[in-house]
Amino acid sequence: MRLRLIPDQTNIDFFKAARVTFGASVVALILSIAAFFAFGLNYGIDFRGGTTIRTEAVEPVDVSAYREALVPLELGDVSITEVFDPGFDDDQNVASIRIQAQDGAESVEAETIDAVRAALQEVAPSLEFAAVESVGPTVSQELIRSAIYAVLGAIAAIVIYIWLRFEWQFAVGGIVALVHDVGLTIGLFSLLQIRFDLAIIAALLTIVGYSINDTVVVFDRVRENLRKYKVMPLVDVLNLSANETLSRTMMTSGTTLLALLALLALGGDVIRGFVFAITWGILVGTYSSIYIAKNIVLMLGVKRDWSKKNPATGGRYADVEAD
């Protein structure tokens, strides 16, 4: 017997409450923009500037103990990760510690570095600093610009792809869905003040790819059904297509979420922000592919060529024209 989370045949009217779902999304997007301007983002060291310290010790790295030892120093945003490498010796335990710039300074002062070393040596007496590197405000600003260009470039490339593959109405629906997903994710990070660093940019790019993949699957089925049902109203074609792909959508999202929830629970603090962003992105991406992208296509309208003698028989979708 096959496991069926969703029946093979469903007849859900996704447009029954279209005004409510679409209106709620518009309100949520406006609130996300307002949260961004009101609270800003809690930028991590990548965007704020700071110092990265590479430590080596004979004792095994205890990230929790390292973090607790640095709490009394009140250094602000501190990121600690253990570094693994097959080339390390058995007694070579390496960690990377990133400390945000203090009081607008370009890097952490030498006195602060000495205090960090002393605090960590209380946990691991053999600990030494193998390297100390600083990221200044200029580099941080360049990283912010590069991150923005990366996200916008990815969205632009996807829009061009959809525009070439489908009609322009589908491209508009896809771009609105992407803006919705990215906007709500940034708004949530702004509202909750979760650390926003380069890992989150990678998560945003992953969300963009996942969301558009789900949307393209639905659009493909819409295109097939537009060829198959020449006289069926557009709203019914969109509903039929969403129902036919619903099982695939839920299985894909569900299995992905299982892995992400495991990482959220067991992955630790280092990747929690990244995993949280992707988890949220999959939820809103699945929602937008059903309730946002198709709503835009329905609003813009797709008019089929009625000049054929028997419109109930097959035809080419290339004959579809915009209203």
Mean pLDDT across the chain? 80
Has residue 241 been placed in a domain?
yes
In a domain, 264, yes or no: yes
CATH number at 164 reads: 1.20.1640.10
Residue 30: pLDDT band by 50, 70, 90 thresholds? very high
Question: What's the mean pLDDT in 124-139?
Answer: 78
pLDDT in tens, 157-190: 887 887 787 778 888 888 888 889 889 999 999 9
DSSP conformation letters of 162-189: HHHHS-HHHHHHHHHHHHHHHHHHHHHH
More reliable by pLDDT, 311 or 11: 11
If you write DSSP's letter for every residue of 6-48 in order, what string do you get? Answer: S-SS----TTTTHHHHHHHHHHHHHHHHHHHHHH--EE-HHHH
Residue span of the structural domain in which 94 resides: 50-135
For residues 321 and 139, the model is more confident at: 139
Same domain, 167 and 296: yes
Output 27 or 256, whichever has higher pLDDT: 27
The secondary structure of the chain in percent helix, strand, coil, rounded to multiples of 5, reads 65, 10, 25
CA distance 316 to 323: 18
- The contacts of residue 61 (CB under 8 Å, 6+ apart) are 82, 93, 94, 95, 124
323: confidence class by pLDDT, cuts 50, 70, 90: very low
Q: 212-221: per-residue pLDDT in tens?
A: 888 888 888 8
The amino acid present at 129, given as its one-letter code, is F
The answer on 283 and 301 residing in a single domain is: yes
Question: Quick one: pLDDT at residue 303?
Answer: 64
Strands (E), 139-275: 195-196
What is residue 27's predicted lDDT score, i.e. its pLDDT?
A: 93
| pLDDT of the residue at 34 | 93
Q: Does residue 158 fall inside a structural domain?
A: yes
